[in-house]
Amino acid sequence: MGKKQIETLVGLFVLLGALAVVFLSLKAANLASFTLDATYPLRARFDNVGGLKIRAPVKSAGVTVGRIESISFDDKTFQGVVSLQIDRRFRFPTDTSAKVLTSGLLGDQYIGLEPGGDEKNLKDGDTIKMTQSAIVIENLIGQLLYNKAAESGKDKEAK
Amino acid sequence: MNPVETLAALGARSIRLLGSFGRASIFFAELVRHTPPSLRRFNLAVVQIFAIGNQSLVIIATSGAAVGGVLALQAYYALNRYGAAESVGLLVALSLLRELGPVLTALLFAGRAGTSLTAEIGLMKAGEQLAAMEMMAIDPRVRVLAPRFVAGIVSMPLLGAIFSAVGIAGAYVIAVTLIGIDSAAFWSQMQDGVDVFKDIGNGMVKTVVFGIATTFIALYMGFESTATPEGVSQATTRTVVISSVAVLILDFLLTSLMFSTP
Amino acid sequence: MSSTADNLVQIDHVTFGYDSRVILTDVSLQFPRGKVVAIMGSSGCGKTTLLRLIGGVITPQSGQILFDGEPVDPSRQDKLFALRRRLGMLFQFGALFTDLSVFENVAFPLREHTVLPEAMIRDIVLMKLNAVGLRGAASLRIAEVSGGMARRIALARAIALDPELIMYDEPFAGLDPISLGVAANLIRRLNDATGATSLIVSHDVHECFLICDYAYLISSGRIVGHGTPKELQASEDPEVRQFIRGEPDGPVPFHYPAGPIAQDLGISA
């Protein structure tokens, strides 16, 4: 087989491999959607960040508008500080609230933004003031047991 | 044999094993050391990429399609019980990209390309071709061994990507065309759950590591084989066995490093 | 004995062995320029080891090897490189590169060591192949050539860079009478035509004596005899006589060491 032929076929092989990687990145993964758009940073503080992970989505009205960049701990206020990167195209009012929501019943957690009514918008680096922490199952169960105990206590008294 | 003799035999065996590890490590170091000079003659590596990369395309592509299809089938049976049939695409994609793509490609590669490398190097050594090259003041490690090493490291990631891509395509055919899962759901579920860096990126890193391991083992076994037909045949068997075990152990190590939840 | 200046290669009191066995013990040989010298002996006596010592593949435990007056030092890569460019070696079965064609095999040293233009390489390769009578076989693949042809192609490759020293490892082994004649003829003619020095390792006494100027006989890692073919044939030394005449029994015994046969057969003596 001639040298030129071999070189052409090897070039074809490398091209095929590269195409496979591109196909995988675009079709199978989420490369096309977010990493290329320009974003601006926002911060949000939570009493409990729950199971939020880095690169989890930030959604508003169910549409992904950003990603979580990092999660850290503030040892002055003992709160979790979440840094968000929001798509530049979407601006939110300063009284927007952020909640930790779960997708489905037992799925991954994400941040949901509910816009307020203010005319002014959050600027780059601003902190979202109103947040609702994640619902922790253990606390719920504890509450349920406490309520059940209180009820049966009242019933006993009533008898 | 009395206990003392058994102990002595065991000790001798261990020392010999250490000796082979040492020889293998030195061989690996020499291989790496001679790779930069051989890169200057990249056309040698190109010929080798053709021999072990292009020639492996058929087996990789067919296996990829088959594995993707089978995965889709089995995933559907399992997921359908929980009403989660639409996640078939996601399950297949994650399985392929993270584990099955790199590992199966590496095992097939060891079987097809690895054995051919071992046999070739073994026969070249037996026919004194490497000694002849040395006498002609040409370093066989630069001219013969390093180009094949480079070719293996380049070919494996490409083959791995092709395996996964064809696998997902195969899964699509089974899940959407045959079973009837909604095409849009198939892709959107997958895209939601597959991360470029974590899943595809790590999978690619795995293929590079496996490429280095399998090619090195194949070359070493060929180089150390005895110059007889039985010797070469034993060497090719050892290539497949040791490569396979190495790939599986490395996969375990890499997976625990890459996919542990932070 | 020729003086050091006359010798292209000189081996002085060399001892070489591996951990378990000694292969050569205090051997000294000289290879005068322009002459054909044969190293003979039975298999395993250390003949090929001598070639590897000269080529710098292995280092002697004691003694030294001089090439053109300079010691052969395998630890000096650059000097070893220069030395090997001046020698050509013909391996026992040719050691041709099976993935290249006949032409490419002979062109190999030219491509690797020179920057000659393609046209010139082509001319040189065809001339070398012509010298060994195989110019017409240039386009064949190695799998297609016979054993005798393979050796001749390997010879063409060995002389591609016009070396000063040509070493032959068992050039006559396994050849039919015609090929034998061709090989012996080629070795002598090449040597005289190019002014090179030739070193033949062989156990074929008849062919060697036809073409060599001087010969060494090695047995069990020692030199047991040396001289011109005439001198060796007239030698009275029992080891030399046994080898030259091919006698089945003598200093090298016929029987592998064993007890008396009566014992093995269970017969009382």
Report if residue C177 sits inside a domain: no
What confidence score (pLDDT) does residue B1 get?
64
Chain B residue with CA closest to A108: the answer is B193
Chain A residue with CA closest to B159: the answer is A17
Minimum distance, in Å, between the CA of residue A9 and any CA atom of chain B: 7
The answer to whether residues A57 and A110 belong to one domain is yes
Q: C88-133 pLDDT, tens per residue?
A: 999 988 889 988 899 999 999 999 888 899 999 999 999 999 988 8
Q: C129-168 pLDDT, tens per residue?
A: 998 889 998 889 988 888 888 989 999 999 999 999 999 9
Per DSSP, what are the bridge partners of residue A68?
A: A84
Report if residue C20 sits inside a domain: yes
Which domain, by its residues, includes A114?
37-142
**CA gap B161, B102 in Å, rounded:** 8
* 3-state class (DSSP) for residue C96: coil
Chain B residues in contact with C89 by the CB 8 A cut-off are: 132, 135-136
Q: A23-52 pLDDT, tens per residue?
A: 888 876 666 555 556 888 889 998 888 888
A10 touches chain B (CB under 8 A): yes
Task: Say whether the A–C interface has 3 or more Cβ pairs within 8 Å.
Answer: no
Report if residue C185 sits inside a domain: no
**CA gap A55, A67 in Å, rounded:** 5
* 3-state class (DSSP) for residue B208: helix
The answer to whether residues C79 and C106 belong to one domain is no
Which domain, by its residues, includes C217?
1-86+165-171+196-249
What confidence score (pLDDT) does residue C7 get?
85
The answer to whether residues A59 and A97 belong to one domain is yes
The answer to whether residues A136 and A90 belong to one domain is yes
Query: In this structure, what token pair is assigned to residue C64?
Result: 């030294």
Chain C residues in contact with B129 by the CB 8 A cut-off are: 95-98
A88 touches chain B (CB under 8 A): no
Chain A residue with CA closest to B261: the answer is A53
Contact B127 C89 (CB under 8 A): no
What confidence score (pLDDT) does residue A29 get?
67
Q: Please answer whether residues C157 and C109 qualify as being in contact, where contact means their C-beta atoms are separated by less than 8 angstroms.
A: yes
The count of structural domains within chain C is: 2
The answer to whether residues C91 and C139 belong to one domain is yes
Report if residue C267 sits inside a domain: no
β pairing state of C214-219 and C36-40: parallel
ipTM: 0.80
Q: What average pLDDT score do residues A58-85 get?
A: 88
**What burial letters (b/e) apply to B231-240, b meaning 16+ CB within 10 Å?**
ebebbbebbb
A89 touches chain B (CB under 8 A): no
The answer to whether residues A48 and A121 belong to one domain is yes
Q: B153, B172, B191: which to substitute to probe chain A, counting the most A Cβ within 10 Å?
A: B191
Residue A131 CB: number of other CB atoms within 10 A? 20
Q: What percent of chain C has pLDDT over 70?
A: 97
Report if residue C210 sits inside a domain: yes
Q: Please answer whether residues B185 and B86 qualify as being in contact, where contact means their C-beta atoms are separated by less than 8 angstroms.
A: yes
Helix spans in chain C (H): 47-54, 77-85, 102-113, 118-131, 147-158, 177-194, 205-211, 229-233, 238-245, 261-265
The answer to whether residues A73 and A96 belong to one domain is yes
Contact B124 C91 (CB under 8 A): no
Report if residue C263 sits inside a domain: no
Report if residue A83 sits inside a domain: yes
CB-based contacts of C225, cutoff 8 Å, min separation 6: C216, C217, C232, C235, C237, C239, C240
The count of structural domains within chain A is: 2
A106 touches chain B (CB under 8 A): no
Chain B residues in contact with A71 by the CB 8 A cut-off are: none
Rounded to 5 degrees, φ, ψ at C67 are -115, 115
The answer to whether residues C3 and C82 belong to one domain is yes
Chain C residues in contact with B123 by the CB 8 A cut-off are: 98
Better-scored residue on pLDDT, A123 or B162: B162
H/E segment holding residue A3: helix A3-23
**CA gap C6, C30 in Å, rounded:** 9
What confidence score (pLDDT) does residue B249 get?
96
Report if residue C183 sits inside a domain: no
Minimum distance, in Å, between the CA of residue A12 and any CA atom of chain B: 9
Chain B residues in contact with A62 by the CB 8 A cut-off are: none
Report if residue A150 sits inside a domain: no
Rounded to 5 degrees, φ, ψ at C218 are -115, 135
Q: What is the CATH number of the domain that holds C3?
A: 3.40.50.300
**CA gap B210, B220 in Å, rounded:** 15
**Among candidate residues B196, B177, B26, the one with its CA nearest the CA of residue B97:** B196
What confidence score (pLDDT) does residue A31 get?
60
The answer to whether residues A119 and A79 belong to one domain is yes
**CA gap B83, B196 in Å, rounded:** 27
In chain A, residues 107-136 whose CB comes closer than 8 Å to chain B? none
Residues of chain B under the 70 pLDDT cut: 1, 261-262
The answer to whether residues A14 and A32 belong to one domain is yes
Q: B119-150 pLDDT, tens per residue?
A: 999 999 888 899 899 888 888 999 999 999 99
Q: What is the DSSP letter of B181?
A: -
The strands making up C165-169's β-sheet, listed across from edge to edge, are: C87-90, C165-169, C197-202, C36-40, C214-219, C222-227
The answer to whether residues C53 and C64 belong to one domain is yes
What confidence score (pLDDT) does residue B261 get?
60
Minimum distance, in Å, between the CA of residue A63 and any CA atom of chain B: 12
Per DSSP, what are the bridge partners of residue A112?
A: A59, A99
Taking CA atoms, B135 is separated from B12, B79, C12, C108, C225, in Å, by: 36, 64, 22, 13, 29
Query: In this structure, what token pair is assigned to residue B160?
Result: 């791995």
The answer to whether residues C29 and C74 belong to one domain is yes
Query: In this structure, what token pair is assigned to residue A19?
Result: 């195409």
Chain B residues in contact with C96 by the CB 8 A cut-off are: 127, 129
Report if residue A17 sits inside a domain: yes
Minimum distance, in Å, between the CA of residue B19 and any CA atom of chain A: 39
**CA gap A85, A65 in Å, rounded:** 9
The answer to whether residues A29 and A41 belong to one domain is no
Minimum distance, in Å, between the CA of residue A22 and any CA atom of chain B: 9
Helix spans in B40-145 (H): 42-52, 57-80, 88-95, 101-109, 115-126, 129-135, 140
Q: Please answer whether residues C87 and B135 qualify as being in contact, where contact means their C-beta atoms are separated by less than 8 angstroms.
A: yes
The answer to whether residues C19 and C43 belong to one domain is yes
pTM over 0.90, yes/no: no
* 3-state class (DSSP) for residue B127: coil
